[in-house]
Amino acid sequence: MKKSLIGVFLWMMVLSACVVEATPTPTVAANPPTPTFTATATVAPTLTPTLQLHPSVTVVNPVTGGATPTPTSTLARFKPIERNPSELRAAWVHDNSIATAAKTDEIVRRAELGHINVIVANVFTQGMALYDSQLIAKHSQVASDFNPLQYLVERAHQKGIQVQAWFVNGPVEFKDESKIIQQHPDWAIVGPDGKKMNWLNFQRADVRQFIGDLVWEVVDRYGVDGIFFDFTRYPGPEWGFDPYSISAFNSSHNFNLEELRYPALPAYGYFEGNPISQPTTAQVLAKFSNGTPALTFNSYGKGQVVIINWRASERRIAADSEIMKQSIKQLLKEGGQVYTYRPDGELDDNAKQGLEGLTSWLKDLGLPDQHVGPEQLKTLAPNSVLLVTFGFDIPAADAALLQNFVNQGGGLIFNDGPVRSIVYDSIRALTGMQGRGKHMEDWTTVVPVAPNALMPNSNRPVDLATAQSRDAQWKEFRKQGVNALIQGVYKRVKAQYPQVDVSVTVTSNQTSSSQLTMQDWRAWLEGHYVDYIVPRGYVEDVDELDAILVNWQPVMQKYKNVTLGVSTFSGKHNLRELKNPSQILEEINRARQAGSYGIMLWNLDFVNDEQLKALASGPFK
């Protein structure tokens, strides 16, 4: 009887050990322990595999919470293959290009034709999978009975072509929604004014574990030959003010991170814009450290004009939103509405970005999305407020309509200076300014000149050295979260699959990647927890590549594992044009001469057979 009971007891223990559950999201304590990663970026928490697949296992999906049976017999056990030739001759492939069997066959055909030996396929994007996963939902563009990654690995390996799984790690949004963030709202990153983005917060250990589990699932089940990380960064320098990160930072530093929100002026931050200058009738309320007007107010006729002389819609300091709210409050008259100006005709990318940013900003401020064009400007009620954002080339006729609107009593707010239109007398009269300032992309201060209701003022003294020191500590802290993710994944993969590559892409601008998006790529190379990094050297003309290679050649020659990304086309979106094969070959030749560790082409979606044949008979022969 005793033996029987003991047997039952042991059997129950075995069964319980087979159930894998999602790692619960840890609650944030008032004073969490100091993060274990250090400034050297060489030590990260050890992540052991949490997804152990077994024929009888039921895996709990951390996104849906529902139990998902583990497929067994339907999924063949793949293994990585050797790269032949050994030189990396890779190409990226978008998710929609492997969404069906026919599209995947075409991608493999192109790779074989061009003697490309590595396909880097986007299998995790918008928070969804291009494969059958126990952890996340399959992408909506893929049929339920089709497994893109499995099919791609089968077909590519048959041709001797490696497959690397491309993960878009940061943004996890599809059509303005994110299943992952809906399930874990505390995983989203937060800006200084409280805005949230459906972008994973790498500072959190549970987020890093989640991404690590996704990687492990792909490596262990699908036999991929590499893991390629994209968007493994912050979207900009202003992000990271979520409660978890604030608490963790404050517990390990001697000042309160809340101060770096800068809800009032003076403020220090990264400012971009095309300011106008040379005030005539405008009152200058605040200045940049170089003396350029930052915030101005001008009365014209019965109305008023406010110029926020930088791209405040980027919201890189909390004061941006405070200034906008106060400006609208002061200029809006009883019964009036808030509108945004949109000129007639097709908008370029810069103007689209400006309008989208402004629209999103107003939405977060609780204001409706109401665009008006030239026809509506003719009859716009003078008790209203009209907002004009950056990127617009305001026609002379529209400028005259803006002048009339303000003259009749309307309120006008510029988000960034109207530099393209300052040549018009009407815009000069409206703004009380008459000249262009210098284009600005810089870390600087905005300092009040005189008290004004439009502008929150903390009355703190300006101490540039202190501001820079604290900002440097804040950057370093966020870099450590990114570093910990990459190092943890690298160690976890290499422990059982040493032949599987782990790589990360960065922008070709070394300063931007380090100071704006928190990618500490030198630490990755020095710490040996990437097999290679891929700076994206996309240029229109071949000679433009020289400026990029001048900066990267010393790095390439020192570390021997920096792979240049080369584009197969020029232009963007509808203006995209395939490059002449000779230009692609010349770019590859220059990259090789500089010491590039192979080549990665952007991308197999936009190539033709002429280009591919040139590769096969030339550099990839």
| Tens of pLDDT, residues 150-207 | 999 999 999 999 999 999 999 999 999 999 999 999 999 999 999 999 999 999 999 9
Same domain as 399, residue 354 = yes
Q: Are 153 and 219 in contact (CB under 8 A)?
A: no
Q: pLDDT digit string (tens) for 79-119? A: 899 999 999 999 999 999 999 999 999 999 999 999 999 99
**Is residue 605 situated within a structural domain?**
no
Same domain as 275, residue 407 = yes
Same domain as 358, residue 249 = no
**Is residue 556 situated within a structural domain?**
no
Same domain as 434, residue 291 = yes
Domain residue limits at 364: 264-457
pLDDT for 393 equals 87
Mean pLDDT of the chain: 89
**Binning pLDDT at 50, 70 and 90, where does residue 316 land?**
very high
**Is residue 403 situated within a structural domain?**
yes
- Per-residue pLDDT averaged across 40-67, rounded? 33
**Binning pLDDT at 50, 70 and 90, where does residue 77 land?**
low
Residue 514: CATH number of its domain: 3.20.20.80
Per the confidence metrics, is the pTM higher than 0.85?
A: yes
Same domain as 290, residue 329 = yes
pLDDT for 2 equals 38
Q: pLDDT digit string (tens) for 531-566? A: 999 999 999 999 999 999 999 999 999 999 999 999
Indicate the number of domains in the chain: 2
Same domain as 302, residue 439 = yes
Same domain as 448, residue 346 = yes
Q: What long-range pairs does 490-499 form, CB within 8 A, spacing at least 24?
A: 490/529, 490/530, 491/44, 491/46, 491/47, 491/529, 492/47, 492/48, 492/49, 492/212, 492/215, 492/216, 493/215, 493/216, 493/219, 493/227, 496/49, 496/220, 497/80, 497/219, 497/220, 499/80, 499/82, 499/225
Same domain as 315, residue 282 = yes
Distance CA 564, CA 596 (A): 6
Q: Looking at 536, 560, 591, which one is the last position of a domain?
A: 536
**Is residue 193 situated within a structural domain?**
yes
pLDDT for 572 equals 82
**Is residue 5 situated within a structural domain?**
no
**Is residue 513 situated within a structural domain?**
yes
Q: Looking at 536, 566, 588, which one is the last position of a domain?
A: 536
Contacts of 278 (CB under 8 A, 6+ apart): 433, 434, 435
Distance CA 478, CA 475 (A): 5
**Is residue 176 situated within a structural domain?**
yes
- Per-residue pLDDT averaged across 142-146, rounded? 97
Same domain as 476, residue 448 = no
pLDDT for 574 equals 75
Same domain as 510, residue 424 = no
**Which is nearest to 311 in space by CA: 258, 257, 268, 357?**
357
pLDDT for 604 equals 96
Proportion of the chain above pLDDT 70, given as a percent: 88
- Per-residue pLDDT averaged across 1-30, rounded? 34
Q: Looking at 457, 490, 525, which one is the last position of a domain?
A: 457
- Per-residue pLDDT averaged across 253-281, rounded? 97
- Checking if the pLDDT of 5 tops 60, the result is no
Same domain as 518, residue 413 = no
**Is residue 103 situated within a structural domain?**
yes
Same domain as 211, residue 80 = yes
